[in-house]
Amino acid sequence: MKKKVGFIGWRGLVGSVLLERMIFKNDLSKINIKFFTTSQVGHNGPKINNKKFGILENAYDLHKLIELDIILTCQGSTYTEKVYFNLRKLGWKGFWIDASSCLRTNKNSIIVLDPVNYNFIIESINNGCKTFSGGNCTVSLMLMALGGLFSENLIKKIFVSTYQAASGAGSNYIKKLLLEMGILHNSVEKEINKNNFSILKIENVVSSLLKSKKFLRRFNDVPLAGNLIPWIDNDNGDGNSKEEIKGEFETNKILNLKFLDKVIIDSICVRVSTFRCHSQSFLIELKKNIFIKEVKEILCNHNKWIKLIDNTKSDTIANLTPSMVSGTLKILLGRIKKSNFGNKYITAFSIGDQLLWGASEPLRRILNILIKL
């Protein structure tokens, strides 16, 4: 019999990308799906390939949720916090699949990224695991990119600088970025279209606007257009942002590495004004000196989604950009070279779609593993 699956958060960025993939891969035909909402109870559910999916159910109604075999949520941590524990207290024994960070640190959950930790996932399911979280977007993308070096146990330490797209902060952030771009453009439109435009005047107007109280009040936030923000998520109180501490914790949890084998990871995470896809620059300390040719072979052989970009100017600027990978499952990997730090150090730069491998695809794949049980 088909499993009863409740989908919460399907309207949001991660949820709608996930739904699109599920339709494309014909996953909906394998399950009995019900759509839930936190804000539109009683509205019509989605219409997919001319099939209507009924009225939206209340995502907080525990009596409705308890009937489900699997709950798939892309709603966010606040929702999970409010519902998950109460549902388990009521004795619900179903599978919970979650895009948010809420349960990633929970000892009863595992973080899923099956091209990297398939055996651990299966072992955990056999041991009774019922709670599955998707990893942090940059962590999952890093593991997809550097998986070969991790699986060969070649990595000692990594320092990562991230360049994270606006959409990483949800639907509203894309809207904010576009509105800001529009306002900035409008403010200099006349001048920019003159043949003898004054670039200094344009730059002055735009820079003053970005700093103005009016602009800050309009968005109630730091501008992202023409800017960057070197802090993502809350303050961890130790000099790190919450986003930065996820790197080491989640990597070691996904790889199921015990204390002595743990890989050290440190980072600075930055929000940039790209729309979609997260980029990351790595400085990697290997456990031994390996030729770059061999490093590339190990990286390429790990999974079929990696696309290696030659470390030349023309290949890099043409092919190693967020716009080249947006909306695809490819993991771009370039700038691989030995570092001046020493012969065990290499650098690399990777880009992947954070809404696919960084969020929705690992969830879609664990759903497919669970519905076959």
Ligand X SMILES: NC(=O)c1ccc[n+]([C@@H]2O[C@H](COP(=O)([O-])OP(=O)(O)OC[C@H]3O[C@@H](n4cnc5c(N)ncnc54)[C@H](OP(=O)(O)O)[C@@H]3O)[C@@H](O)[C@H]2O)c1
Q: Which of 7, 326, 280, 324 lies closest to 145, judged by CA?
A: 280
Candidate list 149, 359, 366, 367; residue touching ligand X; CB under 6 A = 359
Tokens for 224?
A: 């992202």
Q: Is 77 in the site for ligand X (CB under 6 A)?
A: yes
Of 74, 102, 137, 269, which is the active-site residue? 137
Q: Is 50 in the site for ligand X (CB under 6 A)?
A: no
In contact, 188 and 296? CB cutoff 8 Å: no
Q: What's the residue count for the chain?
A: 373
Q: How far is the CB of 78 from ligand X (least distance, A)?
A: 8
Distance (Å) of CA 131 to CA 214, 226, 261: 46, 40, 25
- Cβ-closest residue to ligand X? 12
Q: How far is the CB of 14 from ligand X (least distance, A)?
A: 4
Q: Which stretch binds ligand X (CB under 6 A): 37-45, 190-198, 235-243, 281-289?
A: 37-45
- Residue 61 or 297 with smaller CB distance to ligand X: 61
Q: Which of 172, 137, 160, 152 lies closest to 250, judged by CA?
A: 137
102 as an active site residue: the answer is no
Tokens for 27?
A: 């996953």
In contact, 334 and 348? CB cutoff 8 Å: yes
Q: Is 106 in the site for ligand X (CB under 6 A)?
A: no
Q: Is 144 in the site for ligand X (CB under 6 A)?
A: no
Instruction: Say whether 312 sits in a helix, a strand or coil.
Output: coil
Of 74, 277, 278, 302, which is the active-site residue? 278
278 as an active site residue: the answer is yes
Q: Is 279 in the site for ligand X (CB under 6 A)?
A: no
- 63: burial class by Cβ within 10 Å (0-12, 13-18, 19+)? exposed
Site for ligand X in 226-255 (CB under 6 A): none
The answer for 340, left when phi > 0, alpha when psi is -120 to 50, beta otherwise, is alpha
Number of residues that bind ligand X (CB under 6 A): 26
Q: Is 281 in the site for ligand X (CB under 6 A)?
A: no
Q: How far is the CB of 41 from ligand X (least distance, A)?
A: 9
Q: Is 38 in the site for ligand X (CB under 6 A)?
A: yes
Residue with tokens 């619900």: 92
Q: Is 355 in the site for ligand X (CB under 6 A)?
A: yes
Q: Is 170 in the site for ligand X (CB under 6 A)?
A: yes
Dist. CA 253–CA 135, nearest whole Å: 10
Q: Is 168 in the site for ligand X (CB under 6 A)?
A: yes
Q: Are strands 131-134 and 109-112 parallel, antiparallel or unpaired?
A: parallel
The answer for 132, left when phi > 0, alpha when psi is -120 to 50, beta otherwise, is beta
Q: Is 13 in the site for ligand X (CB under 6 A)?
A: yes
Contacts of 339 (CB under 8 A, 6+ apart): 283, 345, 346, 347
Q: How far is the CB of 33 from ligand X (least distance, A)?
A: 15
Q: Is 11 in the site for ligand X (CB under 6 A)?
A: yes
Q: Is 74 in the site for ligand X (CB under 6 A)?
A: yes
Candidate list 6, 76, 115, 352; residue touching ligand X; CB under 6 A = 76
Dist. CA 25–CA 80, nearest whole Å: 27
Candidate list 39, 126, 127, 195; residue touching ligand X; CB under 6 A = 39
Q: Which residues bind ligand X (CB under 6 A)?
A: 9, 11-15, 37-40, 59, 74-77, 99-100, 137, 167-168, 170-171, 354-355, 358-359
Catalytic residues: 137, 278
